Amino acid sequence: MKTQLSKSPADLQAKLEGQTRYVHDMRLPGQLVGKILRSPHPHARIVRLDVSRARAIKGVVAVLTGEDVPHHTYGPTKFKDWNILARDRVLFIGDEIAAVAAETDAAAKQAIAAIEVEYEELPGVFDPEEAMQPGAPVLHETIAGDNRPMRIALERGDVERHKQEAAVVKSGRYRSNRIYQGHLEPIGAIASWSDEEGITIWAPSHIPYRARETYAAGFGLPEDKVRIVVPPIGGSFGSKYVLKVHVIAAALAMAARRPVKIIMDRYEDMVTAHPRVPLTFDLEIGADREGNLLYKDVVVYADAGARVYWSPNVIATACTRPDNIYRFQSAKSEGHLCYTNNSPTTCMRGFGNAEMLFAVESVIDEIALELGMDPAELRLRNIVRPGERTIHGYRLDTCLLEECIDKVKAISGWERRADLPPYRGMGIALANHVSGFRAIDPRFDGSTAVLRLKGDGSLELETGEIELGQGMSLSYARIAAQVLGVPEGSILVKSGDTGRYPFGIGTLASRSTVMGGNAAKLAAEALQRRLVSLACEVLGKGASLEDGRIRYGEETYPLSEAAAWHRARHAGEELTVRETYVPDTEMPDATYYGHPSPNYPFAAHVAEVEVDPDTGRTRVVGYWAVHDSGTIIHETMAKGQVYGAVAQGIGWVTMEDLIVEQGRVKNPSMMDYRMPGARDIPNIEIAFLEGEDPNGPLGAKSLGEVALDPVPGAIANAIAHATGKRGYELPLSAERVWRAIHST
Amino acid sequence: MAWIQPRSVAEAVELLQQRRARVVCGGTDLFVGGPARPLAPEQEDWLDVRRIPELCGARRTEEGLEIGAAVTAAQLWEEETYRALPALQQAAKIVGGWQIQNRASLGGNVANASPAADMVVPLMAYRAKVRLAGASGERRMALQDFIRGPRMTALQEGELIVSLIVPERMLGTAQVFLRHDQRAATDISIVSVALAAAVAGGEIAWASAAVGAAAARAYTLSEEEEQLWRGRLDAKAMARLGALYAARSAPITDVRAGEDYRRSLVDTYIQRAARTVLGQ
């Protein structure tokens, strides 16, 4: 049946053949080229801004400054510190001052160059701890006079008492770094304006509904006067959420009354990048003599950069989520989110959990070393188990963490660890994650799917979630196909248009499989009921749906006939069902206690490395990843998630670093920002331990982020095992490892 | 802007006198400088040397092996002719990726004079000469004198590089090129070392080494100092050599590596090169 339908625009084959059309490939009639003038200073007052020469250039249609755009209070989180264009002060290198729309690229460039700006440079602050000091330059007076928009303080159990009781205490200052998400497709957007429909933006965003709400607030428009259409996304990993480029393209389109396209080149993309939030952890963990973990105590400093993107959610995750892997008897977290004059930082796969786990898993290995215990054994002794409620309230209906550890030991040959040659090492690390997070939007959670029977008997499934290339569409098609007994290829999954498809909270927090998948399942079940009742109405009692066909007695009918029956009775309207899944979760309270996700995936990874002691260069020579993600819906795509995550983690730990000094990116090119290539990635062995989770569609839990979460810890532990030196700061580049080996 | 393709050295030299043209071969450096090094202004012409037969191959002469400036990295590591120069072949095989190797030329690597250039390093170790052609005729000079510093050469207005000449005594010696980089492929050198040595019976009769990316330009020791390479190098002798080359380095600290780290790598890779040619 209709196998060609499975070729959605995001289909792998289309990408390989160059058929996929990204926003860069789109061209609207009358479209103009948009460009942005950005601050060259990390902190400065705009003394004079003159765009008259730019406006006079032939081919220039619109030139906007902070004087020409609205200044509503808005932003993607509750810390509303965004503008459209700067009016009097710029806060980071890349901060937007003016924008131009012109007929040609050359005219737009010329206009940008013709804008005259005089700055009075102001002292900047670039380190979160310095930003909190009295006398530091204040970035947003009305939001945080102390540069600290968010502070977290939570304690469960009696940490002070456990500090007295602990026999072994290990601690250290760990740092995770700025990671450029490394999306192949640079940031870009096309915007248009009409008086009837308002703003339409074509932009790769995987939270388009939140983007719509944010941008509407920025222009003082009702939410439904902004429509976001999402073309195929050429990689995001967290970089393509809510972006100023989208807003500025819209402002230009409103001024020019013509569509405006802004596409950044790699240089602009990297100079203004919103990388992974860099975090500093002062972490201490204590255990008793038998190796029972007693407490965890951490202070986290996060560099939000000059405006708040998604850093609050990242630091909140870092301060809580990893605690839910172990049976800590008490835990205390203090978090400080600070403004600096660096480019705003945001989320990336792992979202604070991977970062904190790097520190936690490192310290747990240090405890094992001091106790003379096998690191895997120490973990087995302390992990959470199915049926438990974790320290912060997560209800674990399923948890195969113990089995994950056993399995990863078996497939990696963990017993070899004791007899490895010099400078070879093996490390283990664990991870958990969520499948959607209740506090992402405090107002609601869940997902809606619309399922429609087409005249030819094929199906269309509409969702508010977003395909990122991760295989969401394939998963939803498979879920609905299994319920209805139809071929997967007969279901076309459609998403990515806030004006057409159901509301979606967004593809973040590893939520798409469980949230949207449950909605797809509910819709398929509803359609099945509707089809059966329709068949009974038309054919008589006892009609049923079997293997994707209507059965009545000995006769069977294809779904195209059922489609015709329905249309005949409903003025030609197609048979459509709409179902909403609302998860049975508990919103975390003010102390971050709650049950925020329908289920929780787990993983145990082992890395094996070889370190060259003369150069410090690490080669990852073996990697084993064992996952409890419940039922695996699409094994090929699931493995793709794990391969990609491990490769991303290898890059993160051994080489990647967006170097920023005094607010300036020092390596804004793919030549100087090194990411791993195929030859840096070893054979990766993956095992899925499939248990059915009662809350997941067909028993599934999430996978996208939990696949990256343990990688930094596993490799860091392997390097420490190989060299006898603990690495505290990511990346553990060759030079850093060399310095550690040669330090006394 | 015009794209000119002369068919002989004489024609190229004449065109260079007539028009303001920039010599280009594969363009792998010239076309991708990024915002830091913008392309030439539009009124400038490009003079593509890839149609000049003399620049596109190699020939044996009394002096040694003369390699045309337009010979590509891929030709260097693929073709039989260059088997006698394994260090150059190894360097050619590590430059960029395959697409780059199909375009990047030996002459271009020399003309670009990047401190981190790969193919320049074995040429330095070979004590290669550069043959140049200009309005006043031909001249040749030692590569060591030709490359003056980062992106600086002795190339004069209206001149082009015709070939690189590798001395006869280098052909067929034991050789190695080693590079330290950040990842396993398609990278830029942090430190590189090329060594050519006459080895017999586990003993070095003479050797010549060059170090790349650890100073403003690739460097060698004086021939007098190179006497230290002679003999059966024990660990102590190798350490002495490593330390000497490291002492002669003048590395910078940049986004890729720190100065002291680069210096230590010079020591490490000189010793590794020594062990490699000795089969240890």
Query: How many angstroms away from the CA of B209 is the closest CA of chain A?
Result: 20
Which parts of chain A have pLDDT scores under 70? 1-10
Average pLDDT score over residue span B217-236 = 96
Helix or strand holding residue B166 (H, E): strand B160-167
Neighbours of B64 (CB within 10 A): 19
pLDDT of res. A203: 98
Q: Which CATH superfamily is domain A27-122+190-236+240-271 in?
A: Aldehyde oxidase/xanthine dehydrogenase, a/b hammerhead (3.90.1170.50)
Please indicate whether residue A89 or residue B40 has the higher confidence score (pLDDT).
Answer: A89
> Are the CB atoms for A685 and A606 separated by under 8 Å?
no
pLDDT of res. A11: 73
- The SS3 of residue A435 is coil
Residues of B in contact with A113 (CB under 8 A): none
Burial class for A576, CB neighbours closer than 10 Å (0-12, 13-18, 19+): middle
Interchain proximity A659–B255, CB inside 8 Å: yes
Phi then psi for B226, rounded to 5 degrees?
Answer: -70, -10
Closest C-alpha to A451, from A419, A479, A423: A479
| A-interface mutation test, from B261, B266, B267, B276, most A Cβ less than 10 A away | B261
pTM score of the predicted model: 0.96
Query: How many angstroms away from the CA of B24 is the closest CA of chain A?
Result: 22
Residues of A in contact with B235 (CB under 8 A): none
Do the first three CATH levels of A343-434+596-741 and A446-581 match, i.e. the same topology?
yes
Interchain proximity A615–B257, CB inside 8 Å: no
Query: How many angstroms away from the CA of A354 is the closest CA of chain B?
Result: 23
Q: How far apart are alpha carbons A352 and A310 in whole angstroms?
A: 11
Give the closest of B34, B35, B182 to A655, CB-based: B182
CB of B264 less than 8 A from some CB of A: yes
Residues of A in contact with B257 (CB under 8 A): 735
Give the closest of A267, A614, A615 to B34, CB-based: A267
Burial class for A697, CB neighbours closer than 10 Å (0-12, 13-18, 19+): buried
Task: Find the catalytic residue in A121, A388, A705, A729.
Answer: A705
Interchain proximity B187–A667, CB inside 8 Å: no
> Are the CB atoms for B92 and B77 separated by under 8 Å?
yes
Query: How many angstroms away from the CA of B105 is the closest CA of chain A?
Result: 20
Compute the Cα dihedral for B137, B138, B141, B147 and give only its sign: positive
Query: How many angstroms away from the CA of B97 is the closest CA of chain A?
Result: 11
Which positions ≥6 away from A596 have C-beta within 8 Å? A394, A434, A437, A438, A439, A585, A586, A587, A588
Q: Distances from the Cα of A450 to the Cαs of A36, A474, A492, in angstroms?
A: 39, 16, 12
Q: How far apart are alpha carbons A232 and A6 in whole angstroms?
A: 15
Which CATH class name applies to A446-581? alpha beta
Interchain proximity A267–B185, CB inside 8 Å: no
Neighbours of A522 (CB within 10 A): 21
A744: its two tokens: 């006394």
Share the mean pLDDT of chain B. Answer: 94
Residue of B nearest to A731 (CA): B182
Q: How far apart are alpha carbons A75 and A93 in whole angstroms?
A: 19
Name the interface residues of A facing B (CB cutoff 8 Å). Answer: 267, 614-615, 617, 619, 655, 659, 666-667, 669, 671-672, 674-680, 733-735, 738-739, 742
**Domain range annotation of chain A:** 27-122+190-236+240-271, 343-434+596-741, 446-581
pLDDT of res. A3: 41
Angle at alpha carbon of residue B157, lines to B151 and B159, rounded to 5°: 90
| B-interface mutation test, from A109, A735, A736, A743, most B Cβ less than 10 A away | A735
Closest C-alpha to A508, from A651, A318, A344, A313: A313
| B-interface mutation test, from A35, A112, A611, A617, most B Cβ less than 10 A away | A617
> Are the CB atoms for B87 and B187 separated by under 8 Å?
no
Neighbours of A19 (CB within 10 A): 11
> Are the CB atoms for A204 and A234 separated by under 8 Å?
yes
Interchain proximity A669–B186, CB inside 8 Å: no
For the cut 90, the answer to whether the pLDDT of residue B43 exceeds it is no
Give the closest of B185, B257, B268 to A614, CB-based: B268
Query: How many angstroms away from the CA of A509 is the closest CA of chain B?
Result: 31
Interchain proximity A677–B183, CB inside 8 Å: yes
Percentage of chain B exceeding pLDDT 70: 96
> Are the CB atoms for A198 and A59 separated by under 8 Å?
no
Give the closest of A267, A655, A672 to B183, CB-based: A655
CA-only gyration radius of chain A, Å: 27
The residue to which tokens 């932003």 are assigned: A75
Pairing of strands B160-167, B129-134: antiparallel
pLDDT tens digits, one per residue of B178-207 = 999 999 888 889 999 999 999 999 999 999
Compute the Cα dihedral for A356, A412, A434, A488 and give only its sign: positive
A403 an active-site residue?
Answer: no
pLDDT of res. B62: 95
Closest C-alpha to A281, from A658, A744, A713, A723: A713
Give the closest of B35, B183, B268 to A615, CB-based: B268
pLDDT of res. A1: 38
> Are the CB atoms for B39 and B122 separated by under 8 Å?
no
Interchain proximity B185–A615, CB inside 8 Å: no
Closest C-alpha to A457, from A585, A310, A558, A343: A558
| A-interface mutation test, from B29, B39, B178, B182, most A Cβ less than 10 A away | B182
Predicted complex: ipTM over 0.90: yes
> Are the CB atoms for A692 and A632 separated by under 8 Å?
no
Q: How far apart are alpha carbons A510 and A243 in whole angstroms?
A: 20
Interchain proximity A677–B256, CB inside 8 Å: no
Helix or strand holding residue B124 (H, E): helix B120-125
Q: What is the DSSP string of A243-311?
A: -HHHHHHHHHHHHHTS-EEEE--HHHHHHT---BPPEEEEEEEEE-TT--EEEEEEEEEEEEESS-SSH
pLDDT of res. A226: 98
Residue of B nearest to A613 (CA): B268
> Are the CB atoms for A454 and A460 separated by under 8 Å?
yes
> Are the CB atoms for A285 and A367 separated by under 8 Å?
yes
Q: How far apart are alpha carbons A613 and A590 in whole angstroms?
A: 48
Percentage of chain B exceeding pLDDT 90: 89
A380: its two tokens: 């087995």
First to last CA, chain B: 55
Closest C-alpha to A735, from B272, B93, B149, B251: B251
* Domain topology for A343-434+596-741: Aldehyde Oxidoreductase; domain 4 (3.30.365)
Residues of B in contact with A650 (CB under 8 A): none
